Structure 1
Amino acid sequence: MSKKDNNTSSRPMGPRHGMVPGEKAKDFKGTIVKLLKYMSSYKVGIVFVLIFAIGSTAFNIAGPKVLSKAITEIFNGLVGKISGSGGIDFTKIGQILLIMLGLYLISSLFSFIQGWIMTGISQKLCFRFRKEISEKINRMPMKYFESKTVGEVLSRITNDVDTLGMSLNQSVTQLITSVTMIIGVLIMMLSISPLMTLIALVILPISVLLIAVVVKMSQKYFITQQKYLGKVNGQVEEVFSGHNIVKAFNREEAAIEEFDQTNDVLFQSAWKSQFLSGMMQPIMMFVGNLGYVAVAVSGSILAVKRVIEVGDIQAFIQYVRNFTQPISQLAQVSNMLQSTAAASERVFEFLNEEEEIDNVENPVSVQNIQGKVSFEHVHFGYNPDKIIINDFSCEVEPGQTVAIVGPTGAGKTTMVKLLMRFYDVSGGSIKVDGHDIRDFNRSELRESFGMVLQDTWLFKGTIMENIRYGRLDATDEEVIAAAKAAHAHHFIQTLPGGYQMELNEEADNVSQGQKQLLTIARAILADNKILILDEATSSVDTRTEARIQKAMNNLMRGRTSFVIAHRLSTIKDADLILVMKDGDIIEQGSHEELLAKNGFYAELYNSQFEEAIA
């Protein structure tokens, strides 16, 4: 199939099946190692992030100690003024404040630089992942996409990469600054008073214990909340997308009742989880305030005994606050790293999926293909132990039309997938112009095929651009000629803007029949030697079908065509009809030959007219 005319279903996406908050990686260590290997390309930048983050934190830590000198100076000046031995030295205080201002300015500058560098690194990494995923998609076999939903595939390139980028950007810098802050503050606290440091540290296990209890209690409610949030979203999407059916069968009350039950569980779990998680800050504040009281009392006693200065009490209280904050940040970093690992794992899992690999050293050229197709003793099964096509052979001459018919699920589309090498045959061979299709480069082979499907695929853009997608170097005159051959020119002229009319994202501002004519015009413009027409007229009315049939006749002229059709009346003139049932070709021949056999084809053909008469 040509990338020029890849008609796929434009069905709406359901809920995205991306990574949910709190999801953990199956192999945390292995995934982080892989991520670090990816990040090694930016090791110079990461070293600078490390240097500037540590520098920013170090200058920030020095601030309270410098400020304590100013407070001590003010206190000593007031005491001296009261005793008459001196006064406040404002010049010295001004110098101290200028030094402190300089420290904070440098800290902010370093923080800005490391944030700028880290944001660049994380976005470059996201760019690389998106690029690799988009390239990977083009190398993956069709069976992967047939086993996954559209939402699952898209979530890898959107949700997971975004989560990875954001959490990585925040977690790396927070991890560096939090660890630096804890070590630096601990050193400064010990330098002021080992006794006060011990008192402050005794308070910490109490807050950790209380938070651990709250986290344990809230975790089960968060899990339930996430689970039922997905269920509510699924129910809403399902009911709204099928709202007409719900109303037609009077199922409104049942749908509301089901939604209310799910919504009630979500409500109960959500408010409990939010309430419990909201208790963490008050608990931290309460324990922190106890710590401040203990520090203030012990500091006052030590200041009276002249073990420490008055300004040191203020500095120590600031350090206690600065000490508890990075500890809580490290807990957040732990969650972010879990999110980073889970998102990375899903991206790496996708990048490690099996690929379609062409091992042909000297592929056959697709230039000047005439369109002769041979099926020689073809055997095939989606699973090796379940063969569904057994020993099928036939010859199709250039320019002939081959119709593939049979009941739903008979395997008609399977034949097309084999022809285009979405799957390789299990046995035998398929040849184009005498060459096994496995001897061609896979992508070049598909460029030799044009395709028109029942589910039309058009993109947001003008009608001219949508038709030109068949051959990007085509002139406006060639596009219009293709539209005329497809019997689409007349209706295009009646539209506002004509060929420059903009189709919306769903392309639902033109009718189904008009969309089909546009895809046929695109296929005519592509001018491929081999055509595949899959149920192209099954979803339109009889009058539109006649117009599409005329367009298809123009399209098939001089080309080898494989037509899949339910309406047998449309393929009576086919040169060869393949009749499929349960995956096997049970009959083949012309329309008259198959009717004369009075077999399965005759039964299918006559049943359509019996239904019409009935």
Structure 2
Amino acid sequence: LSIFFGIANFTLVIPLLNVLFGTTDTHTAVAPAVLPAFSFSIDYIKGTFNFYFAQMLAEHGKQGTLAFVCGLIIVSVFLSNVFRYLGGRLLARVRARVVRNVRGSLFGRITELELGYFSNERKGDLISRLTNDVQEVEISVVNTLTAVFKEPLNIVGIFVLLFSMSARLTLFSLVLLPISGGIIASVSKRLRRHATISQTTLGAMLSVIEETLGGMRVVKAFNARPYVVEKFEYQNDLYARTTQTIDNTRDLASPFSEFAGVTVVAGLLYYGGSLVLGGQAELSASAFITYIILFSQILTPAKNLSGAFSNIQRGLVAGGRVLGIIDTKSTIQ
């Protein structure tokens, strides 16, 4: 519903521009004589709006119609934000429950394993999985829900409306999408590889810390401080370099998506503008402006989607490390 009212906010720009520029004949000419029968379709929404728009124009003139359209925009924005808030509350609830269950299952499984398991595994790595990896899973849950539910529905909803406005322009805009998708997929694959190294290195670094603190008397007795410091610095430098590589690669996805989107918008402006100027377009000037505004709104969810897929890669690696313990079979039955 938040997506529906969010898209409706921009479609109301067409009648607003028509009222301001004195081209309201577009709505009155297609307005039905009676209120259309209810149905889940764009035609029903358009017919209902044109019906009330024509009535308002006939009874209250352009000034009253302008107030009517502005009031609809306010109501639509209000409802969009209300449902967005409710969606955020639902997302927070799902995230909290998932992370609670994962952390509880992981800790419970660790306490069930036999003592021999802890002789083969580093304590620091186990602590890293119980804390850092679970936190990465929490972040990944949010990104996954965003990538799977919210943003795709937003993009699909906008594209459906764009197709209903102009199929020719919308098909023209889809040329660069496969190229963008291929590059983003390549970035995601590289991120997952570096995320595996990062999480493993963090576990090894925590193991060095735990072993050093637990055996400080031995370190002091054998004057092993240089060896311990060198071992820690190696893991610390490796983790820092890997993290920097991950950040650099992840930050590349979002700007590229925005650049590709702006490139398509510029192409649409030139191609669609040429059609409008040549009188060959099926859109009026106000509808074309609204079309461009609507298409530009795809940039935000597309950028969020590419960023979410990039951030999910670390969560997938962390989730694999967590499940590696949960799925461990006890050798003692």
Decide: shared fold, TM above 0.5: yes
**Which structure shows the higher strand fraction?**
1
User: Structure 2 stretches of 5 or more lacking a match?
Assistant: 24-60
Q: Report the counterpart of residue 66 of structure 1 in structure 2.
A: 12
Distance 1:283 1:56, change over 3 A: same
- The answer to whether the 8 A contact 1:71-1:310 is kept is no
Give the letter for the 1:312 counterpart: A
User: Structure 1 stretches of 5 or more lacking a match?
Assistant: 1-54, 78-87, 355-381, 384-422, 424-614
Q: Distance in 2 between matches of 1:193 and 1:185?
A: 12
**Which structure shows the higher helix fraction?**
2
Q: Pick the aligned partner of 2:156 from 146, 161, 183.
A: 183
Q: Report the counterpart of residue 204 of structure 1 in structure 2.
A: 177
- The answer to whether the 8 A contact 1:72-1:311 is kept is yes
Aligned residue pairs total 287
Asked if 1:147 corresponds to 2:116, the answer is yes
Distance 1:257 1:153, change over 3 A: closer
Alignment of 1:424-435 (within 5 A): none
Distance 1:210 1:72, change over 3 A: farther
Q: Deviations over 1:207-237 (max 9, x none)?
A: 2233334344454433333333333333334
- The answer to whether the 8 A contact 1:126-1:165 is kept is yes
Q: Distance in 2 between matches of 1:155 and 1:252?
A: 24
Q: Pick the aligned partner of 2:286 from 282, 296, 311.
A: 311
Q: Distance in 1 between matches of 2:124 and 2:227?
A: 28
Q: Distance in 2 between matches of 1:270 and 1:163?
A: 14
Give the letter for the 1:222 counterpart: A
Q: Distance in 1 between matches of 2:129 and 2:204?
A: 21
Q: Deviations over 1:478-527 (max 9, x none)?
A: xxxxxxxxxxxxxxxxxxxxxxxxxxxxxxxxxxxxxxxxxxxxxxxxxx
Alignment of 1:489-500 (within 5 A): none
- The answer to whether the 8 A contact 2:14-2:286 is kept is yes
Secondary structure of the structure 2 residue equivalent to 1:308: coil
Alignment of 1:137-536 (within 5 A): 144-149=113-118, 167-168=140-141, 171-172=144-145, 174-304=147-277, 305=279, 307-330=282-305, 332=308, 335=312, 338=316, 342=320, 345=323, 349=327
- The answer to whether the 8 A contact 1:72-1:309 is kept is no
Q: Distance in 2 between matches of 1:170 and 1:276?
A: 17
| Structure of higher RCO (CA pairs closer than 8 Å, 6+ residues apart) | 2
Distance 1:340 1:263, change over 3 A: closer
- The answer to whether the 8 A contact 1:302-1:308 is kept is no
Q: Report the counterpart of residue 446 of structure 1 in structure 2.
A: none
Distance 1:109 1:333, change over 3 A: farther
Q: Deviations over 1:323-358 (max 9, x none)?
A: 3444454552693884796488468637xx67xxxx
Name the % identity.
Answer: 20
Q: Report the counterpart of residue 95 of structure 1 in structure 2.
A: 68
Q: Distance in 2 between matches of 1:344 and 1:256?
A: 29
C-alpha RMSD of the superposition: 4.0
Distance 1:228 1:349, change over 3 A: closer
- The answer to whether the 8 A contact 1:57-1:107 is kept is yes
What TM-score do the two structures reach when normalised by structure 1?
0.40
User: Which has more radius of gyration?
Assistant: 1
What is the deviation of 1:267? 3.7
- The answer to whether the 8 A contact 2:19-2:62 is kept is yes
Q: Distance in 2 between matches of 1:105 and 1:301?
A: 37
Q: Distance in 2 between matches of 1:101 and 1:327?
A: 26
Q: Distance in 2 between matches of 1:98 and 1:345?
A: 52
Distance 1:340 1:275, change over 3 A: closer
Q: Report the counterpart of residue 561 of structure 1 in structure 2.
A: none
Give the letter for the 2:275 counterpart: L
Please say which of residues 333-342 and 171-180 is displaced more in the overlay: 333-342
Q: Distance in 2 between matches of 1:246 and 1:219?
A: 37
Q: Distance in 2 between matches of 1:213 and 1:145?
A: 41
